[in-house]
Structure 1
């Protein structure tokens, strides 16, 4: 599992393993996304504005199944 610290206004860090992307927001909320292709994670990490990429490409994408984790 890869843990990536993100320099972002909303996102604290992300974890990635085998098409599963866990996004941890600075509010403490955690969301698990089942990605269809691994390149989405690479595009997210390489994006100039990760907050915008997350909001438009991942959060709003109906192809990715989103599950909220309560820990």
Structure 2
């Protein structure tokens, strides 16, 4: 599993393994996304504004299955 600390207003860090992207928000909320393409993770990490990329390319993308984790 790859952990990436993110310098972002809303996102604390990311975990990525085998097309599963876990986004941990600074509020403590955790979401798992089942990605269709591995390049989405690379594009996210390399984007200049990760908050905007998350909202527009991951959170809003209905093709990615989103699961909220509690605990």
Q: What is the TM-score of this pair, normalised by structure 1?
A: 0.99
> What is residue 40 of structure 1 aligned with on the other side?
40
RMSD: 0.3
* Structure 2 counterpart of 1:20: 20
> What is the rounded CA distance, in whole Å, between the counterparts of 1:22 and 1:63 in structure 2?
16
Shift of the alpha carbon at 1:46? 0.2
Structure 1 stretches (4+) deviating beyond 4 angstroms?
A: none
CA distance in 1, matches of 2:57, 2:42: 12
Q: Number of residue pairs matched? A: 71
Distance in 2, matches of 1:4 and 1:42, equals 11
Tell me which residue corresponds to 2:69: 69
Give unmatched runs, 5+ long, in structure 2: none
Separation (CA, whole Å) in 2 of partners of 1:68 and 1:45: 21
Instruction: Calculate the TM-score normalised by the size of structure 2.
Output: 0.99
